[in-house]
Homo-oligomer: A and B are copies of this chain.
């Protein structure tokens, strides 16, 4: 960093207020990583408390030529919040204002609001915010918006973007906009764009009434294809499960090793299904369609008798992360989405990749919309990390070969940026770049994310 840049950063820190800026190396080093990758140490970390602070950070980027990397809790799993060069990291964890408008069923939230807070605050009013990424107790709304996060409920209730009514954002020139979802849906363009087109500083979100009744079942199958077929049949019968989770054998075994709850370790696939709604009889009937479909496809079904048993069954799914952590010190969590009919073949192909590369591998995910999370466990001390990434690239190729997409809900980020050249044709990538250049001609907003470098043909 040049002496003059260094002086500009010092002046900025003095002007914005010392508490809002980190310039010391030990502090800055804490803002290099997200849930999956480690990047470059930022030149400065800004913790804005207001939209105006964000505007000033953008002006700092203009003055110094340093890029801006927005982040929240940094629990992301695709490297989207990781600086790839010397940057201004803009950490939103202090922008936590959250207001509810129960009459209009809206929440107005700043990006640093932890996702789970919204439903917690809305609960006494009989309302909820449905998007439920697994990280919802740590991840912040800004990151959910940037990645357009989903969760187990997304099959019935949609993803983050489906709940956005209005956004406030700061553009690459430091201008503040309030954008609604009208002609030219700019909020929709910003959602899922990982901070590469503009910086979201506030979101107005739709809340929905809490469904009063929920029922749960678990089903186990001898083959993955049976589970996929059961889901298709249940949906064809009219069921719209509110949660629909799949675990493969590797995943079942890892959880059983961890919890000793009596899961069938010989089973090839496990489904966890919730139905919910206003009427207990309908919720029950919907669950019975799912149970019947599972049995017809050769599954063994266990219906939870009460909320306690349901809670117990869901513990299996919630324990996947800690269970996997015991197998190897590190893991990479892939995130693909494929047509549900291709799931058996996709799961088998990915299992074969795990065997070929010699890494322990488990698969689980939101089977309703074919969103699968193959997880590769490895030891950075003894394993070749390049091999892990090579294998993940092959996993992405399996998805693309079966008509799937690179990301179900984690985003493209750093991790899958290069795969984009295989997922989209050159003309479509050029259209994405045209939009990027239109909204960020200097390339200052989260560079090195989402869009692959295009080499001239």
Contact = CB atoms under 8 A, between A and B. Distances in A.
Contacts of A102: 236
Given A102-B236, A435-B435, A438-B434, A191 B182 contact: no
Contact of A188 (B126, B175, B185, B427): B185
A277 to B, nearest CB: 7
B427 A171 contact: yes
A406 to B, nearest CB: 7
Interface string A366-389: 000000000000000000000000
Contact of A405 (B180, B238, B428): B180
Nearest to A370: B104
A105 interface: yes
B432 A435 contact: no
A412 interface: yes
A412 to B, nearest CB: 5
A192 interface: yes
A232 interface: yes
A340 interface: yes
A193 interface: yes
Given A184-B192, A405-B180, A104 B340 contact: yes
Given A236-B103, A450-B184, A177 B282 contact: no
Given A177-B428, A277-B278, A184 B435 contact: yes
A411 B183 CA distance: 7
Nearest to A80: B183
A173 B431 CA distance: 11
A194 interface: yes
Q: Which of A161, A182, A425 has the most CB of B within 10 A?
A: A182
Q: Which of A235, A277, A435 has the most CB of B within 10 A?
A: A435
Interface in A400-417: 405-407, 411-412
Contact of A406 (B182, B209, B235): B182
A100 interface: no
Interface in A309-335: none
A13 interface: no
A341 interface: yes
A193 to B, nearest CB: 6
Contact of A438 (B177, B194, B438): B438
B185 A194 contact: no
**What 3 A-B pairs have minimum CB-CB distances, sorted nearest first?**
A188-B188, A438-B438, A434-B438
